[in-house]
């Protein structure tokens, strides 16, 4: 499901900055507004859907509703004539993501064998990024045959969207209640999330304030003279890096611990953003862009495994809702701040701000006390 969803999404996403600036004649700030608002608007829904997952124990229905909404909304970008329309369509797409994400993450936590949670989330992220490898390649091939025909390309994303809905409908109904045991292994039903969890969320939120939309990285490639036809190819290559590093990062986190891997990831991110700020040659910018993918392997799946480690089983839905919403709200602030710094001062100022916030988060991460053991998970 994640593979085909990202195939559809990534046929559009790497071309959206170009579509906005060249076809619709919108400015860089519009990218910040669209991406920030779209990501943040689904954040409250992630909390609600997480709560419903814990309360009702019916993740399949929420997952179906979320994927269906995104699959229906996404192709409509092909008929947009002004950037506020793109905002409304992206908003619908992201609302679908908000509905499905927390229940899906809770289902994954339940299905993971003991001691392999990092591997499971890493593999899920790898499949997600696998779709993001294929999507841009389809887009590049399509635009090679029909240059500049963004609208037809966007419309074709309905096909993988239909595949996703059919896959969900094929899930057996006896999996409706995977994420909601009556009690966790300590015997407490619906217990508190705990101090370690809230401190972890604070660190992740601080980092996310410097983690603006990747649309700005694509814009950076464009401003360095990379041709439009190469942008989707580079975006696809970035996801090859993400895909391979996600599995490795997840496995290593099962052995070395979640905080260690996340801390390394934050430091890597700080170095990458500093490099984006300082270097201006096209070749170096491309190399830094591809190296950026390693950060995802070190953190994405690992953070989700960490969230599942820190809370009782019966509270995973709301925990993932809070985690995902913190990233969403941080993304709103980060994208608006990044767009403002980019346009009012310079791209360098924007990237160095993101780098500084990543360094601050990695320093704060070292202050989190080691949580208690939970049911065989020791990170």
Residue 271, domain CATH = 1.20.1250.20
Q: Is residue 318 part of a domain?
A: yes
Check residue 156 and give its pLDDT. Answer: 92
Q: Is pLDDT at 279 greater than 60 in this prediction?
A: yes
The answer to whether residue 194 scores a pLDDT higher than 80 is no
CA atoms within 13 A on the CB side of 336: 11
Q: Give the number of domains in the chain.
A: 1
What band does 67 get if pLDDT is binned at 50, 70 and 90?
Answer: very high
Angle at 31 between CA 27 and CA 32, to 5 degrees: 115
pLDDT category at 377 given cuts 50, 70, 90 is: very low
pLDDT of residue 68: 92
Query: CA-to-CA distance for 135 and 127, rounded, in angstroms?
Result: 12
- Rounded CA gap, 212 and 333, in Å? 8
Domain that holds residue 125: 2-173+194-365
Helix, strand, coil % in the chain, rounded to nearest 5: 80, 0, 20
Lowest mean pLDDT among 78-82, 87-91, 307-311, 369-373: 369-373
Average pLDDT over the chain, rounded to an integer: 80
The answer to whether position 156 is within a domain reads yes
Nearest 5°: CA angle at 247, between 273 and 7? 75
Beta strands in the chain (DSSP E): none
Residues in a beta bridge with 377? 374
Q: Is 295 part of a structural domain of the chain?
A: yes
Least confident of 62-76, 183-197, 339-353: 183-197
In a domain, 140, yes or no: yes
* Closest C-alpha to 215, from 39, 82, 42: 39
Classify residue 107: in a domain, yes or no. yes
Query: Is residue 371 domain-resident?
Result: no
Q: What percent of the chain has pLDDT over 90?
A: 7
Give domain status of residue 373, yes or no: no
- Strand residues in 56-172 grouped as ranges (E): none
Q: What residues have CB less than 8 Å from 220, skipping those under 6 apart? A: 276, 285, 289, 347
Q: Residue 160's pLDDT band (boundaries 50, 70, 90)?
A: very high
Report CA torsion sign: 101, 102, 104, 108: positive
């Amino acid at each position: 499901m994640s593979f085909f969803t990202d195939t559809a999404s990534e046929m559009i996403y790497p071309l959206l900055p170009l579509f906005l600036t060249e076809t619709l004649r919108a400015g860089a700030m519009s990218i910040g507004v669209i991406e920030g608002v779209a990501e943040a608007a689904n954040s409250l829904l992630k909390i609600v859907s997480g709560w419903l997952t814990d309360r009702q124990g019916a993740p399949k229905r929420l997952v179906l509703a979320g994927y269906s909404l995104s699959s229906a909304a996404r192709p409509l970008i092909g008929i947009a004539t002004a950037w506020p329309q793109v905002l409304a369509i992206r908003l619908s797409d992201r609302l679908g993501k908000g509905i499905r994400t927390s229940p899906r993450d809770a289902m994954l936590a339940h299905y993971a064998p003991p001691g392999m949670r990092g591997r499971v989330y890493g593999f899920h992220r790898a499949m997600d990024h696998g779709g993001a490898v294929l999507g841009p390649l389809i887009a590049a091939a399509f635009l090679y045959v029909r240059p500049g025909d963004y609208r037809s390309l966007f419309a074709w994303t309905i096909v993988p969207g239909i595949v996703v809905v059919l896959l969900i409908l094929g899930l057996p109904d006896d999996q409706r209640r995977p994420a909601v045991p009556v009690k966790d292994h300590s015997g407490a039903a619906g217990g508190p999330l705990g101090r370690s969890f809230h401190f972890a969320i604070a660190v992740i939120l601080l980092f996310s304030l410097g983690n603006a939309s990747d649309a700005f990285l694509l814009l950076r490639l464009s401003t360095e003279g990379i041709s439009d036809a190469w942008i989707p190819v580079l975006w696809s290559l970035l996801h090859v890096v993400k895909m391979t590093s996600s599995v490795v990062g997840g496995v290593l986190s099962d052995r070395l611990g979640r905080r260690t891997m996340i801390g390394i990831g934050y430091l890597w991110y700080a170095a990458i953003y500093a490099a984006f700020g300082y270097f201006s040659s096209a070749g170096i910018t491309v190399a830094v862009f591809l190296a950026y993918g390693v950060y995802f392997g070190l953190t994405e799946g690992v953070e989700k495994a960490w969230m599942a480690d820190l809370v009782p089983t019966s509270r995973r839905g709301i925990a993932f809702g809070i985690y995902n919403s913190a990233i969403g709200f941080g993304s709103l602030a980060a994208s608006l701040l990044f767009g403002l710094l980019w346009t009012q001062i310079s791209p360098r100022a924007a990237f160095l701000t993101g780098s500084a916030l990543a360094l601050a988060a990695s320093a704060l991460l070292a202050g989190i006390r080691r949580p208690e053991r939970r049911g065989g998970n020791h990170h």
